[in-house]
Amino acid sequence: MYLVPEVLEEIFLGLPLKSILKFKSVSKQWRSILESKRFAEGRRMVNIQTKLKIIVAVDRNLIQHELHRDEELEMVYLHSNVAASRPSLSCDSLVCIPVPGWVKVFNPSTGVFLRFSSGPETMISRDFLDPRFEIFPRRWRMGFGKDNITERYKIVRICFHDDLEIHRCEILDVNIGRWRRLSPPPYVLGFRRKSTCVNGSIYWVEVIPRYKLLALNLHTEEWRDLTLPLGTLGTSCQVANLENRLALAATYFSNHHWNVKIWCMHAPQEEAWSVMYTIRLFPCEHRYDGCFPLWFWARPVAVSKQGNLFFHDNCKRLFKYYPETDVVCCVHRDIYVISPFVEDLVPLGPLDSVPNMMRTYGLQHLDHVPFSSRISNFFRRMEFPSSLITTAFVTLATFQFCSLLSRS
């Protein structure tokens, strides 16, 4: 029985992700449908109706401490020791994890895993470990995002000498897989704060020795200096993508409590900031905490359909804030929060241009699991807490649907 692509697409839209990934191998026609931008957009519209999902990485050797299951939130767990212990960047749910010698990009939706060589290791900057901050290997300043014009994903890295002179500034197009020179930023960027990508630009915030916000347009590859909102001086600032807007979270100490104020930029060209949240967190745990306000930070993650804010801190805790009642509760701890999860089945461009040795499947490649167990263990390591319909049941439902169409 032949079904026109439009009918197949309508059937596929209602299937769970696990079944869709299996159906991609049935035929070239099915694969073409499932990897099309039209189908991806249709899936996004379907997923809008579901609850908020967040990608979190957890250490496979640790017991998780979910304090209570939140009805507004569903966790997408990446069971990887490396992902849970190393800082990462994200854009459109793609996860970029720089490790010594490599920069790795992983798509949790499809299991596609790319890795790009960092080239010769430089000893210009020594490794620096500080559990309070997310620091990349060799103190690289890293960025990851999408060029909104070409829709290509790009990785940016900047290396400084120990005397803070720029040693190397490069950019890599994920579709090409080669590093090339990039004009350096106008000033030094700190290595203790992550960047974020919003609407085709990567943003870095710097607080020592100056309070600065720097943007790199991924299409024009031009740098732009922005003004931070008033009230950020003396705070621990972090940037984030919140609902496709640039957000700045300033954590500060006041009245023996930690607090966080979150601004959003509504008009990037006008640099118009507005305060979205002012949250009183919790009392300080140590009498010296107030003397070192830059040691603690919080970063917004996403807003639920009910309007409640989820955010996390550098103690690997996930919080939920209720604006209507001004209440904060801890939802989860001992997890590494990465980003909101948005299903993305579109391939990362023409992967034939990337050497085969750099393209694999499964997050287990981060943890160096033997090859024999890689593919079979992928879905066990990427878990969706909600139950999924089995492929057999979905196939039966599909044929029943086809039978009804043929009778009508």
Whether 137 and 178 map to the same domain: the answer is: yes
**Residue 378 lies inside a defined structural domain of this protein:** no
pLDDT at residue number 374: 38
Whether 106 and 247 map to the same domain: the answer is: yes
User: Is the pLDDT assigned to residue 131 strictly greater than 60?
Assistant: no
Whether 95 and 13 map to the same domain: the answer is: no
Q: What is the dihedral of CA 35, 40, 42, 45, to 10 degrees?
A: 160
Q: What is the mean pLDDT of the chain?
A: 78
Whether 29 and 89 map to the same domain: the answer is: no
Whether 282 and 336 map to the same domain: the answer is: yes
Question: Which DSSP category does 184 fall into?
Answer: P
Which tens digit of pLDDT belongs to each residue from 44-96? 777 766 789 999 988 777 655 554 578 899 888 888 887 877 888 999 989 99
pLDDT at residue number 358: 63
Give dist(CA 134, CA 377) in Å, integer.
28
Number of domains in the chain: 2
Cβ 237 vs Cβ 207: under 8 Å? yes
Whether 120 and 181 map to the same domain: the answer is: yes
User: pTM of the full predicted structure?
Assistant: 0.81
Whether 152 and 180 map to the same domain: the answer is: yes
User: Is the pLDDT assigned to residue 192 strictly greater than 90?
Assistant: no
Average pLDDT over residues 127-145: 71
CATH code of residue 176: 2.120.10
User: Is the pLDDT assigned to residue 120 strictly greater than 70?
Assistant: no
Whether 56 and 38 map to the same domain: the answer is: no
As given in the structure block, the two tokens for residue 122 are 């430089």
User: Is the pLDDT assigned to residue 233 strictly greater than 80?
Assistant: no
Which tens digit of pLDDT belongs to each residue from 169-185? 999 999 888 899 999 99
**Residue 377 lies inside a defined structural domain of this protein:** no
Give the SS3 label for residue 176. Answer: coil
Size (the chain), residues: 408
DSSP string, 350-390: -GGGS-GGGEEE-GGGGGT--GGGHHHHHHHHEE-SS----
Whether 303 and 287 map to the same domain: the answer is: yes
Which residue segment(s) compose the domain that 31 sits in? 1-49+389-408
